[in-house]
Each structure stands twice: as structure tokens, then as C-alpha cells.
A and B are shown apart, each in its own frame.
Chain A
Amino acid sequence: MAFDYDKYIRPGKLPHIWCPGCGHGIVMKGLIRAIDALGFEKNNTAIVSGIGCASRLPGYMDCCTLHTAHGRAAAFATGVKMAKPEMNVICVGGDGDGTAIGGNHFIHACRRNINITYIIMNNKIYGMTGGQFSPATPTGAKASTTPYGNPDPPFDIAKLAIGAGATFVARGTAYHATQIDKLIVEAIQHKGFSVVEILDDCPTTYGRRNKYKSVIEMMNELKDIAVPVKAAEKMTPEQLKGKVLTGVLYKEEKPEYTAEYAKVIERAKGAAK
């Protein structure tokens, strides 16, 4: 049987707004398969986003969905999770939303280790506003605001998350579709703040400006640069040049925030007696 995505999509909401060849739809399918595999109740699942192309994802999902302000997804999601820790809370969004305007909320959600999974669709550009460079745009790349090439160095989003204290960090690509749901399932099952960075393509505002001939060329690049963590162990630094590690990059068990706050409640109630 074909997988029944319709079970999790709001009736009448497709086709979605994403451009032809944009990988966000591939990521959304991976998220749906993950939610299905985990057996989550739709009523008990909140999907929270900021602003941008990727942040339009919750509107299609038949769950409790919260399309917030630019960059604020992690902060809104923290409020939802704190107030109702029994809910499954998943953040989705893009690289600019999550790591530029939302960078502060993102790193502090990592630090707190609150049990939320944040899926960052990294297409290296602000797509919705027409292709301005983001904190993930490579140095030298063309964007509508870097007509002479980008002078900024980019973030390594996965490393940023690890450095900030996220206890589960994984990376996949839109090309490696079969891996996406597996990474998301593992991230959600992990107790604590988990980040799944999916390298994605924006053919419309990044590809065209940067001389990619087609969506296919962008997808092939994702295929070529991705090296699974295990395979990378056997490769020389020379061989790894220009490559990006994929799979589970970091995993650590640490106290989870809402569980720690439950202890605060116990202590406060004990002190009140």
C-alpha cells in the first residue's frame, strides 16, 4: 500500500505553496511518516513554526498548529511545552528564521534541553522575501542582497546546536528521503531538545542566482556532498573536503527541562507544607 499521507493533511489544503522542486514537501512527508510511526495522536501534537517558506508547513498538518512570528517558534513552543508537557511539540522552520532572527530563542532552547524537536529546513537563503542571504548562505554565494558575492561566513547549524547544548543533533538532506523520517523519529524519541537539520534546495531564489541548471543539479549536489557519519570515519580529511556529515551527529543523555521543573514543583509544594 502507498503510505496514506492524507491522514495527517488537512482536507483541501493541497497543493501546497512551495515552488516546483523545493524540498520542503519532501521534509513534510518525512515528518508525517515519523508522526505515523510514533503513533502520535493528532490532538496531542503541536507543530510550531516561525515565518518563511518552511514555516508554512504547519498550515497543512491536521494537528494543533501554531504559525507564529518571525524567529519565535522555539519560544512559543517552549510556552506550549511548559504549560502542557504531555503534548508532543515539534518546531519546523528555515535557516534564516531559526538561526538569524530566532537565533537567541534557538540556542536557549538547546541550552534548556526542553523536550522539543526542531526541524530546520536549511536551503541557505531567505526564500519567501525573494532570496536574501541568510546565516547559512555560503561565503561568496549570490543572493539578492549579495550581488557581488556573500562576504559573510555561514553558520554550521548542527555545530551551533551542539555547542548550545542540544542533546540530540542529526543531519539529513532532501535527496535522502528515506532517511528523513528515521532521523525525525529518533530525534523525537530522544528526551530533550533535539535538532534535525535537513539540507534543502531552493531552486527559485538560490539555484537560479548561483548557476544551478536545474532542481536536479541541486539534488545531485546534496547526494554528492552527503557522507554518513560511519563512512566518514574511514575517510581522510582530504577525502572529506567539501563534504557534509549526515546521520546522527551527536547524542547525549541529560536532565530534561520539564522533568526538572516538575521537581521544582515538588520542592515548592514541600516547602509550602
Chain B
Amino acid sequence: MEKKLPTIEIIEKYCKGCHICVEFCPTKVLEMQGFVAAVKNLDACIKCMQCELRCPDFAIKVTA
């Protein structure tokens, strides 16, 4: 059975490029693309929500 992937929305105009989400994602789903965060490997997402919780800028929305 195929695994249901979450959606990770990154609001670029809110992202200040602090790297917190990228560094603390346990499965390295995110990366920096220039000054803002971006999704690199959605398949690896375990829906732990830590990127959303720790984003200080209200820039990440994870819908599991």
C-alpha cells in the first residue's frame, strides 16, 4: 500500500531563513534554497510536526 504523504507549505514571505527547520528535521526533509526553506525530500517526512512547531516565523504549515 502506498504511504499517504503530508503536504508541507512554506510561506516564503514569512520565512526569514533561520535554518531551524532544516537543522532539526529528524529525517532531513527540508533544505535551504537561497534564503528560504524548501521541501527537498517529502517521502522521508514522518509527520512529527517539529518544523512547524519550531518555525519562529509562522512560515511552515504541515498537513498530515
Contact = CB atoms under 8 A, between A and B. Distances in A.
Q: Do chains A and B make direct contact within the complex (CB under 8 angstroms)?
A: yes
Interface of A: 1-3, 5, 9, 14-16, 18-26, 29, 174-175, 177-178, 203, 214-216, 219
B19 A26 contact: no
Given A21-B18, A21-B19, A215-B19, A26 B53 contact: yes
A26 B58 contact: no
Contacts, number: 66
Contact of B58 (A1, A20, A29, A215): A29
A3 B52 contact: yes
A20 B53 contact: no
Interface of B: 9, 13-14, 16-20, 23-24, 50, 52-58, 61-64
A20 B17 contact: yes
B58 to A, nearest CB: 6
B16 A15 contact: yes
Contact of B53 (A9, A21, A178, A215): A178
Main secondary structure of the interface of A (DSSP, over half): loop
A216 B21 CA distance: 10
Contacts of A23: 56
B23 A26 contact: no
Nearest to A178: B53
A24 B55 CA distance: 10
A14 B56 contact: no
A21 B56 contact: yes
A177 B14 CA distance: 19
